[in-house]
Structures are given as structure tokens and as C-alpha cells.
């Protein structure tokens, strides 16, 4: 909680209030929290935005790591 409060500039009580709320009344708080989570790789999905066509939810962004050329694909054509 401390890390989220520090990153967002929000108080712990504001974050706790947002967590407990059924309806987000303070758009500024939710926008800040969403921005922090998105910067950490969380995707917010609306209804039907996922592969299964389910309701709204969250997904972690897939990380792309360039691992270079796999050993089985090494040959003289790609030797630099």
C-alpha cells in the first residue's frame, strides 16, 4: 500500500476508500490508480475485450523479450 501511495501521490486512506467503494465517485483518484497500474503492465478490459468474450476485468500485458536467433536457426545467412 505504501508503494502505491508513493507512486500515485495519493494518501493511503484515499486508496482504501477507492478499494472499498462499489461505485467510483472520484474520477481523479481512479484515473491516477489506473495510470499507475497500466504503467506496471496491467490492462483494463471492458466487456467483450478479452479472448473469451467475458465481462470486464484485468489482464497482465505480455512482455516481449527479444532473445535473438535461436541456436537451431543459426546459419551462414544470418551470421554478422
**Spans of all domains in the chain:** 2-60
**Low-confidence residues of the chain, pLDDT below 50?**
none
Alpha helices in the chain (DSSP H): 2-8, 12-20, 27-39
What pLDDT was estimated at residue 58?
Answer: 85
Phi, psi of 61 (to 5 degrees): -65, 135
What pLDDT was estimated at residue 49?
Answer: 60
What pLDDT was estimated at residue 66?
Answer: 61
Amino acid at each position: 500500500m505504501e508503494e502505491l501511495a508513493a507512486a500515485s501521490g495519493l494518501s493511503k486512506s484515499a486508496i482504501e476508500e477507492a478499494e472499498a467503494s462499489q461505485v467510483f465517485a472520484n474520477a481523479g483518484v481512479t484515473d491516477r490508480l489506473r495510470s499507475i497500474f497500466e504503467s506496471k503492465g496491467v490492462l483494463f478490459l471492458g466487456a467483450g475485450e478479452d479472448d473469451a468474450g467475458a465481462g470486464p476485468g484485468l489482464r497482465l500485458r505480455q512482455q516481449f523479450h527479444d532473445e535473438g536467433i535461436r541456436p537451431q536457426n543459426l546459419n551462414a545467412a544470418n551470421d554478422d
